[in-house]
Every structure is written in structure tokens, then in C-alpha cells.
Amino acid sequence: MKENRIWENNEAVLEIWGTRGSLAVSGPEYTVYGGNTSCVSVRTSRRLLIFDAGTGIVGLGRRLAEEGFKGRADLFLSHVHLDHIQGLPAFPLLFCRDAELVIYGEERMGKNIEEQLNSVFTPPYWPVRLEQAPAKIRFQSLKEGERLELGDGIAVDTLRSAHPDRCLMMKVSAGRSCAVYATDCEMDRDFIPKAAAFAEGSRVIISDAQYGPEELEGKRGWGHSSWVQGNLLGRSCGAEQVIHTHFDWTADDECLRERESQAEKDWKGAVFAREGMKILL
Ligand SMILES: [Zn+2]
Ligand SMILES: [Zn+2]
């Protein structure tokens, strides 16, 4: 009932399916914030957009299967580091004949996104190829600085982030709703104003907080940030909320609770992502 009202208002719901960076983890010390790697969905009454296909995408796929989802989903890959594609071959939507999956990604090292994924999901690294999936799969190239109009009032803009092997930051606009997905980015003082201009008008920002602020000095050039940079970005662009995510596997619940309380003290808009978190945009 509540969701029907959301749809009538042409608003969007963002949901977090994976909160980890680099590596999935499991165990009693990871139950609060979650152990799956990056995946976020944005749904409106007409469309389903997915950002990254880390192991979290499997939970999203299970939910879609329970709902009997048929039709099109648009999957945007920020880059093809393993933690962002690991869940793709087990994504339940791939096994649904009535589903259509459009996969967007940037060309890298002379290979388009289809060729990049095919070079990983193929024997001997994986027993089946994506083209063997029953779902209809299409691929589309994404470019830095591009605006993609998807129809139904939805658009996705991209910005180059600061990360080894390249990565794209993405802004999704759906009617009056707007959010930025910005994991895998080493935000320094020069980059934050650029990211803030890109994120202008976004109520919510999903931001890379792989490390604690005290760890950053030793991780220069690794392509990640802490909650300090995310809070700066949120304040700079007037966002209401920054959802910090992409946590390192060494950060257990106790560590993340402590970091989250520091981040909240610094700025009231800070929150740490938890799997299953749902936000009305
Ligand atoms: Zn990552
Ligand atoms: Zn990465």
C-alpha cells in the first residue's frame, strides 16, 4: 500500500544490497552492516536500475524472483573490478526467460563491456558464459561525461572518479528524485569540488568509505576514501544524506559502529550503509 503511494508520486526507492569493498565476508562479526560486495537498486513504478553486480545482486535477484518480476532491468557497472561483477553469473534474473537485462559499462583497454565480462565469465574461470543465460542480455557502452536518457523520466549522468583502472561515478535522476552512486573514489581536496558540482541537486549520495580516516595516509593511491571525504562532499553540494559504504573486509561491526558514531558527530547527514536499507528518494 505504502509502495503504491510512492509509485503514484513518481518517486524512486533506493535499496542497498551489498556494502563491502574488495571482498565479500561472512560471520557473526559482520551481521549488522552486511558482508556482500557492492550493489544498489533504484526502482520507480516503471523501471528497475541496478548499480554494480557485486555479490549483493544475488539478494536483489531472489527478491525479484519472489515477486515474479518480468521485463527489463538496467544494470550500470561503475567498473569491472571483481567486487563489482562477482555476483553477476549467479544473478537469478539471468535464469528468467521473460527478463531483459541491459548491461552498461565503459570501454577499457580496447575491449567493450561485453568483451570484458566475457573474458572473465568463461572457462576455465567460470563454467558458463553469459550468452548461455536464458534471459535476453544486451550491452551498451558508457562514456565519461555522458548523459543517458532511459525514458520514463529517468536519466543517468557519469563522471570519471579517481580510482586505479578507471571507474565512473553515476547520478540517477528519476522525476524529482536524484541520487549519486560514488564508490571506488579517492577524493582529495581537488576532487571534492568537481564531485560536488556533479552531485548538485542530489538528496542522497552513496559514498566510498572503505577506510577509516586514520588509515588513509597508508593507502594513498589505492583509490578509496573515508567518511571524512564523503561528509565534505555531502556538505559541499547541499545533500541531505550521505550513505557511506564499500567497507573494507577488515572492518567488522564493532569497528564500523565506532566510525559511524564519529561520522554522525561530524555531520548529522552521515549514515553507514546496511544491507536491506531502503531510502525513498
Ligand atoms: Zn570496489
Ligand atoms: Zn575498484
Give the ligand with the smallest distance to the CA of 51.
1
pLDDT tens-place values along the chain, 281 residues long: 444 454 555 579 999 999 999 999 999 999 999 999 999 999 998 999 999 999 999 999 999 999 999 999 999 999 999 999 999 999 999 999 999 999 999 999 999 999 999 999 999 999 999 999 999 999 999 999 999 999 999 999 999 999 999 999 999 999 888 999 999 999 999 999 999 999 999 999 999 999 999 999 999 999 999 999 999 999 999 999 999 999 999 999 999 999 999 999 999 999 999 999 999 99
pLDDT per position as a tens digit, 136-192: 999 999 999 999 999 999 999 999 999 999 999 999 999 888 999 999 999 999 999
CA of 81 to the centre of ligand 2 (A): 5
Q: Which of 274, 203, 187 is nearest to 237 (CA)?
A: 203
Cα distances from 50 to residues 54, 75, 92, 187, 280, in angstroms, run 11, 5, 14, 24, 16
CA of 168 to the centre of ligand 1 (A): 11
CA of 62 to the centre of ligand 2 (A): 25
CA of 21 to the centre of ligand 2 (A): 8
Q: How many CB atoms lie within 10 A of CB 221?
A: 8
Provide the 8-state DSSP code for 59: H
CA of 246 to the centre of ligand 1 (A): 7
Give the ligand with the smallest distance to the CA of 161.
2
CATH classification for the domain delimited by 2-280, as one of 3.40.109.10, 3.60.15.10, 3.40.50.920, 3.30.70.260: 3.60.15.10
Q: What is the reported pLDDT for 9?
A: 56
Q: Which residue has the cell 550521505?
A: 242
Q: What is the reported pLDDT for 1?
A: 41
Q: Indicate the domain borders of the chain.
A: 2-280
Give the ligand with the smallest distance to the CA of 209.
1
Give the ligand with the smallest distance to the CA of 247.
1
Q: What is the reported pLDDT for 2?
A: 47
Supply the mean pLDDT for the chain.
95
What is d(CA 235, CA 239) in angstroms, rounded to the nearest whole number? 6
CA of 67 to the centre of ligand 2 (A): 31
